[in-house]
Amino acid sequence: MNGFERIAFRLLGSYAEKKRDAYSALRNDLVTARMKVPFEVYLSTAYLSSILAGLIGAVLIGLFTYLLNIPSMIKYQGAVPDFMLVISEYSLVIGTILAVVVSLAVVGGITFLIFLIYPSMIAGNRRRNIDATLPYAINYITAMSTAGIPPAEIFRQLGSSPMYGESAVEARFVAMEIDLFGRDLIDALRLISATTPSLRMKEFLQGAMGCISAGSSLTEYFRTKAEQYSLENRQSQKLFLDTLGLISESYVTAMVAGPLFLIILQSIMTILSQSSQPMMLYVIIYMIIPFGSLMFVILISSMTPET
């Protein structure tokens, strides 16, 4: 723990401990993300960070509202109730208080929400990395198993190979359960299979547990799973390339040909109407094209498999 986390735990640790049942999903995300932070410490840090962020945001927005006298920019049109006329004299104070309260709630709430979803994002990234590297990791352990290396040592060797990414991290945790906590291989595999974010890894470890318990050949099991996952990888890559081609055609239609047609059409209409402020052109050029392109980038990035 760093200094800030220690302070947060001392101040709010007892309160966070009472929330274990309410935030069971967060506890599971912290475990699957392999974040080396206890639940109570993480939740205490989330509480304290949200409070501080909300206070800072409230002070800044309150000063901004007060110094620029933003409430006075609000103009009323038509008939208004009498009490509105009375409190209009205190509009600056009331508006500043409302800005402070709203910004405190919004900034603090957003900060706390970020803390809640961050572990699930890390776990999701780990899941994609494990699914991408698992076929190559299984080929590696198949070669070691064929050479007669014991299963526990196989996972130790895989855990010490950083080229296999998060699959090596899961193997490292299996080895840690055996070497540090004194568990046998089956218990270690059962524990890691229950906490891994990848369904592929869970299925693989549970199958290995079954082979060890039944006394079957682990080498044949590893070889079978390597062939299965390699085939699935080729199929998923083919599907991704087909989908990417469809997205590229959609992008050309929606973000190149479509805006170009709208720009030409709007230019002709602007000339015919002799308008000096072609707002639609500004919307197309400065909003639709940039934000549309950004959405396509985010879409492709989210569906691109790990390498």
CA distance 217 to 224: 11
* pLDDT, position 269: 80
* pLDDT, position 193: 92
Which tokens go with 261? Answer: 């047609």
* pLDDT, position 42: 93
**pLDDT averaged over consecutive 10-residue blocks of the chain (307 residues)?**
85 87 89 90 93 92 81 61 58 80 92 94 90 89 89 90 90 91 89 91 91 85 88 84 88 86 82 72 84 87 68
How distant, in Å, are the alpha carbons of 188, 248, 263, 269 from that of 273?
75, 36, 15, 6
CA distance 283 to 302: 27
User: What number of other Cβ atoms are within 10 A of residue 306's Cβ?
Assistant: 14
* pLDDT, position 90: 64
Which tokens go with 304? Answer: 């691109």
Q: What is the value of pTM for the model shown?
A: 0.75
How distant, in Å, are the alpha carbons of 70, 83, 171 from that of 131?
53, 64, 14
* pLDDT, position 87: 58
* pLDDT, position 55: 93
As to burial, measured by CB atoms within 10 angstroms (0-12 exposed, 13-18 middle, 19+ buried), residue 119 is: buried
Phi, psi of 79 (to 5 degrees): -75, 140
Q: Could you tell me which of 262, 255, 256, 260 has the C-alpha nearest to residue 299?
A: 255
Where are the alpha helices (H) located in the chain, listed in sequence order? 3-17, 24-32, 39-67, 82-87, 91-146, 151-159, 165-179, 185-195, 199-214, 218-251, 258-273, 279-283, 289-303
* pLDDT, position 169: 93
